[in-house]
Amino acid sequence: MSDAIRERLAEIVGADGVSTWVEPGGRELPLAVPRDTDAATELVRFAGADRLALVPFGLGTKAGWCSPAEHADFALSTRALSGILTYEPGDGTVSARAGSRMADLAATVREGGHRLVPEVTRPAEATLGGVVAAGASGARRLRFGPARNHVLGVRALMADGTLAKSGGQLVKNVTGYDLHRLYCGSHGTLCVLLEVSLRLFALAERELAFTGETTELEVALAACRRLGEVALAPEVAAVVGRGDAWRVTAAFSGRAPSLEAHTGEVRDALGELSLVTELEGAAAEAAVATVRDAELAPEGSWPTLRLAATRSKLAGATELLLSAASELGAPPPRILTHPLVATLDARLDGDGADDLARELATVLAASGVHARWPGLPHDLRRELELDPPAGLAMMRRLKDSLDPDGVFARGRTRGGI
């Protein structure tokens, strides 16, 4: 079967466009890389006609955020469908093909005085379509909000092989349903994103970052809480570390006189940390990049816990996490948290990591915190994800309505969608 599929894929995209993709989890899939929209359309129509299931993706930098598909016949990468379609500096918007690399886009719009958001890890590889499909919101989410807020419109390849747009390239627009919000974070289970339009933000006049260290996570979290109260609104207030080594990174940007006048309050907020360092310009950006690249990419080898809550509930959940690890004698988890956004990623590793994950799944479910276990094999994931997500029945109806034949492989997100 696989050989026959490869042959057909080669007919559509050419022999040099066919290779093999190893999914997170180790399964090998025939991979087709279309060079134009027609070829991408033909691939989807082929899957539909032959009752095959395909996995769309970009370069796979966020592939581990999903579980492996229950069944998949081939993968379709949009990596070769790249390039900026329109960049309007005077309008503060950009439209680009899905395979465009985030670093390339960021460099282009920077020349026009704009910042590209979201700012995600591995920007030289991460594709625009992949970032939007994964709903990755990046390191500066505290200031700019989630990825879905920046997506102005998309052009998507639907399961029946038609091309359908949603939204446009306008900063304000309520014409028709916001299907682009539905697609954002849908991990390629509803369509293949081909083009995306984003709102841009002004590059700031001045950028500052502060880093500081502590041996106590609670001290780091308290510093972040104080940062939430200072006059300067932080763009980043993150904690990274494990055990007794924690680093706080805070970043600010804006008009120079404001930063000048209020940095004293920031230093005060970080007063309980040691080795507090103030960085400016490129060094400040590099500090934020360190947080960005600290992302705990789920790889399937160790359980990665992803928590989302409110600020107040997250604090309690963080305590539960550490005390459970301590009680079970597990190695302390590695943590990346943005306490003011109310998200936390924790990597559980070493002997007993699976037991710790099971224990945590139970206690967190009772605490009202939203816990996800991305990247795990289905069996373990099902064991850990105790409650179905709110609205699962509606999600299934949407999937069945937009992709009745399951052209886009099922089972990658929670609830088997």
Partner 1 sequence: MDASLLRALEAVVGKDGLVSQPTRLVPYESDGLAILRQRPDLVLLPRDTGEAAACYRLLHEAQVPIVARGAGTGLSGGATPVAGGVVVGTARMRDVLELNTEDRYARVQAGLVNASLSRECDPHGLFYAPDPSSQRACTIGGNVAENSGGPHCFKYGATTQHVLGLVIVQHDGTVLDLSGPIVDPDGYDLVGLFVGSEGTFGMATEVTLRLTPKPPVVETLLAVFDGLEAACDSVTEMIAERLEPSAIEILDQLTIRAVEDSVFAAGYPTDAGAVLLVEVEGLEEEVAVTSEDIRAIFARHPVLEVRSARDPEERLKLWAGRKGAFGAMGRIAPDLYVADACVPRTKLAEMVRATIEIARERGLRLATVFHAGDGNLHPNICYDRRDPDEVERVLDAGRAILERCVDAGGSLTGEHGVGIEKLEQMEYLFSEADLAAMCRVRDAWDPERRMNPGKLVPLRACGEIRAAALPS
User: Binding to partner 1 (CB under 8 A): which residues in 254-293?
Assistant: 254-258, 260-262
Among 83, 176, 243, 264, binds partner 1 (CB under 8 A): 176
Q: Which residue in the set 181, 226, 358, 378 belongs to the binding site for partner 1 (CB under 8 A)?
A: 181
Q: 71 exposed, middle or buried (CB, 10 Å; 0-12, 13-18, 19+)?
A: exposed
343, two tokens = 């998200």
Does 390 help bind partner 1 (rule: CB under 8 A)? yes
- Those residues whose C-beta lies under 8 Å from the C-beta of residue 355, and which sit 6 or more positions away, are 328, 330
For the bound state, the minimum distance from the C-beta of residue 151 to partner 1, rounded and expressed in Å, comes to 10
Candidates 5-13, 176-184, 238-246, 376-384; binding stretch for partner 1 (CB under 8 A): 176-184
Q: Is the peptide bond before 118 cis (omega within 30 degrees of 0)?
A: yes
Stretch that binds partner 1, among 68-76, 209-217, 297-305, 310-318 (CB under 8 A): 310-318
Written as six digits, the tokens of 222 are 């308290």
Whole-number Å distance between alpha carbons of 147 and 337: 18
Tell me the window of 22-30, 103-111, 253-261, 291-299 that interacts with partner 1 (CB under 8 A): 253-261
Q: How many other C-beta atoms lie within 10 A of the C-beta of residue 57?
A: 26
Q: Quick one: 38 or 260, whose CB is closer to partner 1?
A: 260
| 3-class state of residue 113 by DSSP | coil
Of residues 333 through 372, those in contact with partner 1 by CB under 8 A are 341-343, 370, 372
Please report how close the Cβ of residue 320 comes to partner 1 at its closest, in angstroms.
Answer: 17
Q: Which is nearer to partner 1, 11 or 205 (CB)?
A: 205
C-alpha to C-alpha distance for 183 and 118, rounded to whole angstroms: 16
Between 175 and 323, CB nearer to partner 1:
175
Minimum distance from CB of 351 to partner 1 (Å)? 29
Q: Is 232 in the site for partner 1 (CB under 8 A)?
A: yes
Per CB under 8 A, contacts with partner 1 among 123-162 are 135, 137, 145-146, 148-149, 156, 158, 162
Burial (Cβ within 10 Å: 0-12, 13-18, ≥19) of residue 380: middle
Applying CB under 8 A, among 173, 215, 323, 362 the residue interacting with partner 1 is 173
CA–CA gap between residue 228 and residue 211 (Å, rounded): 16
Cβ atoms of 127 and 121 within 8 Å: the answer is no
Residue 147: closest CA among 120, 167, 172? 120
Q: Which is nearer to partner 1, 327 or 400 (CB)?
A: 400
Compose the 75-114 pattern: x for residues touching partner 1 by CB under 8 A, - for all others.
-------------xxxxxx-------------------xx
- Binding string, residues 37-76; x marks residues near partner 1 by CB under 8 A: ----------------------------------------
Buried b (16+ CB within 10 A) or exposed e, 389-416: eeeeeebeebbeebbeebbbbbbbbbeb
